[in-house]
């Protein structure tokens, strides 16, 4: 068990222009997980979110839904994912976060799930359908025991009191959903979104902010980074994986283009 969570280390050492990348475990192929993690780290990603495939990913747009469907058809499961993660910490030193819905974790068994996360070097969890009160009543003690950070999401509709409650009960960072819609790459960032980014930034929360949903290229990445510590890219990266003939080259080129290098 590590004494300092790697997520804290990233925000302590870098502070700005932090790039977190999401991909669905088991996509494009069942056994791509370890390679994608290594290529992302080598290409310059600061954190990685590993998506747990689920049959009904409610918060996700068509690109990530399709990747979930493909991964499940490929045979991906939580048991297989943890097997794939067993030795990745020999080569991967950046934070790894599992993102998924509560149902697969409950079917696996919450304590066994947390134990497997700790054993394989998972630093945090993003579970969009885990209610705050349920987390506080039933899960926080368990997550703390295994050294796993629980990361909550906020959106433009989240009230100030709710944002402050999330800030009070969060570790690592707050996932700032850029709009009220599902995940998916978009062309740009609207004035309404900028108002929302400013409003949250001016609340001076204790946790760093990472902006996700609709971040797809260097322009949207730079804009998001002006209002937060960094940004999260998902759908655009999933598309790049789908279109790439060579994973290593495709991942390197994608990360470089997002960073404007």
Catalytic, 87? Answer no
Q: Could you give phi then psi for residue 244, rounded to 5 degrees?
A: -80, 125
Task: From the candidates 32, 46, 60, 123, give the one annotated as an active-site residue.
Answer: 60
CA neighbours closer than 13 Å in the CB half-sphere of residue 161: 0
Catalytic, 90? Answer no
Task: From the candidates 32, 49, 123, 167, give the one annotated as an active-site residue.
Answer: 49
Token pair 């108002």 is found at 195
How many Å apart are CA 35 and CA 52, to the nearest integer? 17
- Residues 132, 168: contact at Cβ < 8 Å? no
Tokens standing for residue 143: 């997550």
Q: Give the DSSP H or E segment for 231.
A: strand 230-233
Token pair 């947390």 is found at 114
Token pair 């998924």 is found at 100
The CA distances from residue 121 to 94, 152, 159, 178, 246, in Å, are 10, 20, 34, 29, 27
How many Å apart are CA 11 and CA 173, to the nearest integer? 9
Active site members:
49, 60
């Amino acid at each position: 068990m590590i004494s300092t969570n790697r997520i804290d280390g990233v925000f302590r050492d870098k502070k700005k222009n932090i790039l977190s990348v999401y991909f669905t475990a088991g996509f494009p192929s069942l056994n791509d997980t370890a390679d994608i993690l290594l290529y992302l780290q080598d290409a310059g990603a600061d954190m990685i979110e590993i998506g747990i495939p689920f049959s009904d990913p409610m918060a996700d747009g068509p690109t990530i839904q399709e990747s979930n469907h493909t991964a499940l058809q490929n045979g991906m499961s939580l048991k297989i994912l943890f097997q794939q993660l067993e030795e990745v910490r020999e080569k991967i030193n950046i934070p790894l976060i599992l993102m998924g819905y509560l149902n697969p974790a409950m079917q696996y068994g919450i304590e066994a799930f947390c134990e497997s996360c700790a054993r394989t070097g998972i630093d945090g969890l993003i579970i969009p359908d885990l209610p705050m009160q349920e987390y506080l009543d039933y899960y926080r003690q368990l997550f703390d025991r295994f050294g796993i950070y629980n990361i909550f999401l906020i959106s433009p509709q989240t009230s100030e009191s709710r944002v402050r409650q999330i800030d009070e009960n969060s570790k690592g960072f707050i996932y700032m959903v850029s709009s009220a819609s599902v995940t998916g790459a978009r062309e740009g960032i609207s004035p309404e979104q900028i108002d929302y980014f400013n409003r949250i930034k001016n609340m001076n929360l204790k946790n760093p902010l990472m902006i996700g949903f609709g971040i797809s290229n260097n322009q949207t990445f730079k804009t998001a980074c002006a209002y937060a510590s960094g940004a999260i890219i998902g759908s655009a990266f999933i598309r790049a994986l789908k279109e790439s003939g060579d994973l290593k080259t495709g991942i390197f080129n994608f990360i470089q283009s997002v960073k404007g290098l």
